[in-house]
């Protein structure tokens, strides 16, 4: 099969501060400044955008069709070409990428948002699980990640001090948008072997990205972050049929995205738990030459449904700023890294 | 800025789930203290039994009994059980590979403390006293140092199999309507309808949603509208809605309050239902303690001309 | 650079019913998917990616159910996308899948949409008790009925038109073995005598609540050449959205619907839809939406749509048959309803619609909409591939 060849880049990225609670703002009130910010960075207006795609999840805030009201923040008038995934915004970006690839549009606005503060996200996420055999036991997201962490420890892939080091390194970021920064106590066990410091902060936030194709990308950004490859894969749902110490779907997506063809300098990994960073680094074969999560990753800020898109945005921003030439961005969904997306971004040679 | 409103939002429903043959057999088996797996074409035995092979996607139906004893493949100590979880005192989450199975089952282990749990330890099923055909018919696992139990070779056929489960689910949220709607609701307490004007297109939105939906910019300039308005369109409701204490028939109408650029919704009263018409002029009627007008009634003014409200249906 | 032409080579549906108590959610979607594969004579290994859609997760109480459904849909090790655009989702899902083929990202894609409404109660899912908000003062029909009245006021349509649509669609459903409602003793008098629920909408003019799934296999030129049965070719496809509620919104004939149709017609080279399109599967949850959409989609001038219905043009043997399958009025697994429209359009141009086949249907429009008449998705499929 002949691939359609069209160079597509992330040309702008914006995100909100990630906060423990944004009760004073409705979802659209939280999202709208981010949309304005990302459009301002390119000088584009809603009417200039060829395709818009968003990612969010009704279950987070407990309201059906929450995305229909978020659309108010876009200003979808005259009507726009638009779609929505009930997934992290990274997959909305994937859908938009295919739309640019097919030539249907030259620019795309991608956004996502999540408010975890209204509910108890640990309990909400139990509703993602097999509704017959697993969800009735209410195993929360930390418990499942802890089972994975123990499997890693048993396999000799990590230990508790190493996990604590991942959290500490993540929160040593200079990312001012992050919810948790600096020295944070590792704390007590939440579900053993995971301690507070191994778990992501619960918070609210929004993010937006603009994609553009070919020359349009060069007009809109002095150093576009070209998407050299992007792919995503899903694994079996049952934890008991998977090897929790590995992430074959991440490896396959990375291979399809061309991640292994040339060395990377940066990786933005969506690892909500410290132990999951171990799994991802192992699956991707990342060594000390790759800077992992300079943004702090999900351990510093994890706005559900936006945290994956933020990884792509953070990787792209480093390319925009000239701090990276070739970066990998990763997003995950589902229990214990069930579904994974990998994008490889590059800047023009300097 | 005044404090935003907050209130609890409970999302709760008893979902009725039909099972299909494989899940029906497994859960009925638990009721009868039999643990079933399902065999794949290449000879693996999956427990719990799934309907489709995760590797080949083949439909699989070949049920086989396995032992209620097994080995912990990984675990996690939960010192603070949460609502809905199988045990109320501290326990371990475990993945257990039952004897005779090639995959592991997620459940909980009753143990005195984390020091009593390790990967590789032997466990057995502790059955619930009252079993109904659900995953919770396994009360939990418990440490076990005997030999593997021997399955009896059950066929997977049962008398009176369960074909469905009821899965109650409750999630508790704290709802906040945000800045703009809080201001609107607070004004309603004084029986005033206060909307917000878009700084760009100048349209007035009641209730305000914080953003002008066509311009995509924040609204903030507050504008009091009404109290009277015009019925722009309506329907006559003849079917009693659950949780609504209103006698049918009644009229449910779109009402454009004077000064608003978008109609809101309300009930029309004080006039026989079959005399309500498009263009009828109405005003709100409040009842003690009501957050919203109870209904709207005719003002007695002449009807509005269609040309005036036809953009506000 | 040109897009890969997109062909529908496999279609599968479940027999839609009020409650499928014999299957799990996985069993329901699997049945439709397997039938689509069988139609295309393909195996799970032939599928490169899965694109799934459904309406709110609260309906089944499973958050992001595609995670649990990955195994049943053979998606393990493959890409899987989940679309949600309210009522239009079935159509949007098909378009997202089609674009994967058009962009040559994947060769063959399985797309599927479903709803298992019997797991809960749709009205519960749609009206969660949000604090501070005015309670919904009328059921689902109450949301639509005022718009129907606005249409009647605007066009002067006689109040019998709605019953004609319902009578037609329920008779068409009798020819569709997958339709939910099979009212063998239906008569126009019975429709017109059914209770007035939300005046001007009668009971018989409303859609049922169904369990069901619909799936399609989409592929490119090479895949179509290998297919055992004729392909339906996508000649145009588009999505358009406008805000939920806004000043000046025309809820009777939304601009987003007009723009979406115009985009599809432009892609497909349709100059005069009334003349160039042979039949339509449109999303009509309440009978009056047929004349409304006939105008919105450009098959009739404004104010004239009801005349097509009244004169029998939209009957199965009419000049522009509408909802040959019986439509949403006869079958409504919410998240799947849009995809059923798209799939039924494809069945027609493939000549595979059985008893409800329109003779010589060569270009058929599939239409879906949702939210507050704000999200639109449409495709036009043809019996011949698009001009290269």
**Residue A2 within any structural domain of the chain:** no
Q: Which residues of B touch C142 (CB under 8 A)?
A: 235, 237, 252
**Picking from B147-156, B300-309, C154-163, which range would have the lowest pLDDT averaged per residue?**
B147-156
Chain segment B213-232, per-residue pLDDT in tens: 999 999 989 999 999 999 99
* DSSP-assigned beta bridge partners for residue B257: B229
> A327 and A267 in one domain?
yes
> A154 and A101 in one domain?
no
> B246 and B144 in one domain?
no
**Residue B2 within any structural domain of the chain:** no
**Residue A3 within any structural domain of the chain:** no
Longest Cα–Cα distance of chain B, Å, equals 90
**Residue A306 within any structural domain of the chain:** yes
**Helix, strand, coil percentages for chain A (3-state, nearest 5):** 40, 20, 40
- The span from the CA of C146 to the CA of C288, in Å, is 11
Q: Which of residues 25-84 of C touch A (CB under 8 A)?
A: 25, 56-58, 60-65, 67-71, 75-84
* DSSP-assigned beta bridge partners for residue C80: C50
> A249 and A156 in one domain?
yes
| pLDDT (average), residues B96-116 | 98
pLDDT given at position B85: 98
Chain segment B268-278, per-residue pLDDT in tens: 999 999 999 99
> B157 and B60 in one domain?
yes
Asked if A340 and A247 touch (Cβ cutoff 8 Å), the reply is: yes
Chain segment A236-274, per-residue pLDDT in tens: 999 999 999 999 999 999 999 999 999 999 999 999 999
**Residue A82 within any structural domain of the chain:** yes
Number of domains in chain A: 2
pLDDT given at position B1: 57
- The span from the CA of C332 to the CA of C285, in Å, is 8
Chain segment B131-168, per-residue pLDDT in tens: 999 999 999 999 999 899 888 889 999 999 999 999 99
- The span from the CA of A65 to the CA of A54, in Å, is 13
Average pLDDT, chain B: 95
- Which uninterrupted H or E stretch holds C41? none
Single out the residue in A177, A192, A220 at which a domain terminates.
A220
> A317 and A328 in one domain?
yes
| pLDDT (average), residues B78-106 | 97
Question: Nearest CA to CA, how far is C285 from chain B (Å)?
Answer: 17
> A115 and A37 in one domain?
yes
Q: Which residues of A touch C99 (CB under 8 A)?
A: 95, 98-99, 102, 104
Single out the residue in B148, B170, B192 at which a domain terminates.
B170
Q: Which residues of A touch C244 (CB under 8 A)?
A: 68-69, 71-72
In DSSP notation, B189-251 reads TTT-EEEEE-TTT--EESS--SEETTTTEE--EEEEE-SSEEEEEEEEE-SPPTT---PSSEE
> B139 and B67 in one domain?
yes
Average pLDDT, chain A: 96
| pLDDT (average), residues A278-282 | 98
Chain segment C259-271, per-residue pLDDT in tens: 999 999 999 999 9
> A167 and A21 in one domain?
no
Question: Nearest CA to CA, how far is C372 from chain A (Å)?
Answer: 9
Residue A149 in contact with partner chain C when CB distance is under 8 A? no
**Picking from B174-178, C113-117, C337-341, which range would have the lowest pLDDT averaged per residue?**
B174-178
In DSSP notation, C125-140 reads HHS---TTSPPP-S-H
> B107 and B87 in one domain?
yes
Average pLDDT, chain C: 96
> A154 and A13 in one domain?
no
> B12 and B110 in one domain?
yes
Nearest CA in chain B to A245: B74
- The span from the CA of A130 to the CA of C51, in Å, is 19
pLDDT given at position A4: 47
- The span from the CA of A183 to the CA of A166, in Å, is 12
Domain residue limits at A175: 121-200+225-346
Single out the residue in A220, A252, A284 at which a domain terminates.
A220
Q: Which residue has the tokens 């249409």?
A: C151
| pLDDT (average), residues A328-341 | 98
Single out the residue in B170, B199, B215 at which a domain terminates.
B170
Single out the residue in B170, B202, B217 at which a domain terminates.
B170
> B283 and B159 in one domain?
no
**Residue B44 within any structural domain of the chain:** yes
Domain residue limits at B276: 228-313
Single out the residue in A220, A253, A287 at which a domain terminates.
A220
pLDDT given at position B2: 67
> B160 and B123 in one domain?
yes
> B310 and B235 in one domain?
yes
Q: Which residues of C touch A76 (CB under 8 A)?
A: 241-243
pLDDT given at position A1: 39
**Residue A278 within any structural domain of the chain:** yes
- Nearest neighbour of B9 by CB, restricted to A28, A62, A126: A62
pLDDT given at position A2: 41
> B87 and B192 in one domain?
no
> A308 and A168 in one domain?
yes
Asked if A302 and A200 touch (Cβ cutoff 8 Å), the reply is: yes
- What is the percent of chain C where pLDDT is above 70? 99
Residue B302 in contact with partner chain A when CB distance is under 8 A? no
Question: Nearest CA to CA, how far is B97 from chain A (Å)?
Answer: 8
Instruction: Please judge whether B291 and C120 are an interchain contact, meaning their C-beta atoms are less than 8 angstroms apart.
Output: no
Asked if A14 and A207 touch (Cβ cutoff 8 Å), the reply is: yes
Asked if C378 and C260 touch (Cβ cutoff 8 Å), the reply is: yes
Helices and strands, number each (H, E), in chain C: 14, 11
> A146 and A30 in one domain?
no
> A164 and A40 in one domain?
no
> A211 and A185 in one domain?
no
Number of domains in chain B: 3
- The H-assigned helical ranges of chain C are 25-40, 66-69, 89-102, 122-126, 140-155, 161-173, 188-193, 221-226, 255-268, 273-276, 289-296, 305-310, 327-330, 334-350
At the topology level of CATH, where does C7-122+208-226 sit?
Answer: Peroxisomal Thiolase; Chain A, domain 1 (3.40.47)
Chain segment A183-228, per-residue pLDDT in tens: 889 999 999 999 999 999 999 999 999 999 999 999 999 999 999 9
User: How large is the ipTM?
Assistant: 0.97
Instruction: Please judge whether B46 and A241 are an interchain contact, meaning their C-beta atoms are less than 8 angstroms apart.
Output: yes
> A101 and A179 in one domain?
no
pLDDT given at position C388: 60
**Residue B261 within any structural domain of the chain:** yes
Asked if C119 and C59 touch (Cβ cutoff 8 Å), the reply is: yes
């Amino acid at each position: 099969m002949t691939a359609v060849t069209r160079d597509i880049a992330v040309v702008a990225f914006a995100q909100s501060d990630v906060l423990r609670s944004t009760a004073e703002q409705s979802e659209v009130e939280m999202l709208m400044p981010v949309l304005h910010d990302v459009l301002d960075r390119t000088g584009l207006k809603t009417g200039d955008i060829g395709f818009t795609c968003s990612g969010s999840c009704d279950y987070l805030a407990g309201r059906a069709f929450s995305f229909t009201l978020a659309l108010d923040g876009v200003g979808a008038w005259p009507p726009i070409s638009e779609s929505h995934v009930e997934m992290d915004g990274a997959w909305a970006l994937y859908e938009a990428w295919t739309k640019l690839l097919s030539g249907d549009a030259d620019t795309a606005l991608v956004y996502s948002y999540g408010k975890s503060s209204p509910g108890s996200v640990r309990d909400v996420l139990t509703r993602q699980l097999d509704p017959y055999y697993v969800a009735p036991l209410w195993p929360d997201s930390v418990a499942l990640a802890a089972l994975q962490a123990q499997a890693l420890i048993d396999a000799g892939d990590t230990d508790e001090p190493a996990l604590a080091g991942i959290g500490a390194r993540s929160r040593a970021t200079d990312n001012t948008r992050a919810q948790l920064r600096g020295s944070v106590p590792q704390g007590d066990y939440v579900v053993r072997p995971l301690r507070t410091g191994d778990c992501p902060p619960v918070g609210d936030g929004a993010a937006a990205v603009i994609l553009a194709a070919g020359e349009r990308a060069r007009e809109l950004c002095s150093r576009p972050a070209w998407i050299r490859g992007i792919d995503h894969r899903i694994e079996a749902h049952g934890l008991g049929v998977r090897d929790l110490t590995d992430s074959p779907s991440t490896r396959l997506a990375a291979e399809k995205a061309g991640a292994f063809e040339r060395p990377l300098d940066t990786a933005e990994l969506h690892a909500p738990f410290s132990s999951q960073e171990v799994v991802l680094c192992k699956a991707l074969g990342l060594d000390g030459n790759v800077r992992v999560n300079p943004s702090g990753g999900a351990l510093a800020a994890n706005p559900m449904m936006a945290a994956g898109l933020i990884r792509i945005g953070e990787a792209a921003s480093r390319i925009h700023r000239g701090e990276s030439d070739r970066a990998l961005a990763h997003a995950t969904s589902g229990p214990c890294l069930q579904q994974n997306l990998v994008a490889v971004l590059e800047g023009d040679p300097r | 800025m005044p404090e935003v409103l907050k209130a609890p939002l409970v999302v709760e429903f008893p979902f009725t789930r039909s099972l299909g043959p494989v899940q029906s057999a497994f859960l009925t088996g638990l009721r009868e203290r039999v643990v079933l797996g399902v065999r794949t074409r290449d000879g693996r035995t999956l427990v719990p039994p799934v309907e489709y092979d995760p590797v080949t996607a083949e439909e699989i139906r070949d049920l086989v009994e396995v032992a209620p004893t097994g080995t912990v493949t990984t675990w996690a100590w939960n010192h603070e059980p949460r609502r809905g979880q199988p045990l109320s005192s501290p326990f371990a989450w475990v993945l257990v590979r039952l004897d005779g199975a090639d995959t592991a089952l997620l459940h909980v282990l009753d143990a005195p403390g984390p020091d009593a749990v390790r990967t590789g330890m032997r466990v057995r099923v502790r059955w619930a006293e009252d079993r109904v055909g659900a995953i919770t018919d396994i009360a939990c696992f418990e440490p076990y140092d005997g030999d593997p139990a021997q399955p009896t070779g059950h066929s997977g056929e049962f008398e009176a199999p369960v074909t469905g489960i009821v899965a109650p689910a409750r999630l508790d949220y704290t709802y906040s309507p945000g800045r703009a709607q809080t201001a609107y609701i607070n004004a309603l307490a004084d029986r005033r309808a206060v909307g917000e004007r878009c700084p760009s297109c100048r349209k007035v939105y009641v209730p305000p949603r914080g953003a002008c939906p066509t311009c995509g910019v924040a609204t903030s300039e507050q504008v009091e509208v009404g109290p009277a308005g015009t019925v722009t369109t309506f329907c006559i409701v003849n079917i009693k809605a659950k949780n609504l204490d209103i006698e049918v028939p009644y009229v449910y109408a779109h009402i454009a309050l004077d000064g608003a650029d978008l109609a809101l919704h309300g009930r029309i009263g004080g006039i026989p239902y079959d005399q309500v018409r498009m263009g009828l002029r109405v005003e709100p009627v409040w009842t003690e303690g009501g957050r919203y007008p109870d209904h709207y009634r005719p003002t007695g003014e002449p009807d509005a001309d269609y040309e005036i409200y036809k953009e506000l249906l | 650079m040109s897009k890969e032409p997109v062909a529908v080579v496999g279609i599968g549906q479940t027999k839609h019913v009020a409650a499928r108590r014999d299957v799990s959610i996985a069993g329901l979607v699997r049945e439709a998917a397997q039938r689509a594969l069988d139609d295309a004579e393909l195996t799970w290994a032939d599928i490169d990616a899965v694109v799934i859609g459904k309406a709110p997760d609260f309906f089944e109480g499973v958050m992001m159910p595609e995670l649990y459904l990955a195994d049943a849909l053979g998606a393990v090790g493959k890409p899987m996308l989940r679309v949600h655009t309210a009522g239009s989702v079935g159509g949007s899902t098909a378009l997202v899948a089609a674009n994967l083929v058009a962009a040559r990202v994947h060769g063959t894609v399985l797309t599927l949409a479903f709803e298992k409404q019997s797991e809960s109660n749709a009205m519960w899912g749609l009206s969660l008790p949000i604090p501070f908000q005015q309670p919904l003062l009328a059921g689902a029909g109450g949301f639509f009925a005022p718009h129907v009245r606005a249409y009647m006021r605007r066009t002067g349509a006689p109040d019998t038109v709605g019953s004609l649509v319902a009578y037609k669609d329920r008779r068409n459903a009798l020819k569709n073995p997958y339709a939910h409602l099979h009212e063998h003793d239906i008569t126009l008098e019975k429709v017109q005598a059914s209770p007035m629920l939300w005046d001007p909408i009668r009971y018989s003019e409303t859609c049922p609540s169904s369990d069901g799934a619909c799936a399609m296999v989409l592929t490119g030129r090479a895949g179509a050449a290998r297919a055992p049965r004729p392909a339906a070719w996508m000649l145009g496809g588009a999505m358009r959205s406008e805000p939920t509620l806004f000043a000046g919104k025309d809820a009777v004939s939304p601009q987003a619907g007009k723009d979406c149709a115009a985009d599809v017609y432009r892609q497909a080279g349709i100059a005069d839809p009334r003349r160039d399109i042979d039949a339509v599967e449109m999303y009509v949850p309440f009978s009056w939406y047929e004349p409304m959409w006939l105008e919105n989609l450009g098959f009739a001038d404004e104010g004239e749509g009801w005349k097509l219905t009244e004169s029998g043009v939209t009957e199965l043997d009419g000049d522009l048959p509408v909802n040959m399958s019986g439509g949403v009025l006869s079958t409504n697994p919410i998240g799947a309803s849009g995809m059923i429209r798209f799939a039924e359009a494809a069945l027609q141009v493939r000549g595979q619609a059985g008893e409800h086949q329109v003779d010589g249907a060569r270009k058929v429009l599939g239409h879906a909409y949702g939210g507050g008449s704000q999200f639109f998705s449409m495709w036009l499929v043809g019996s011949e591939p698009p001009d290269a």
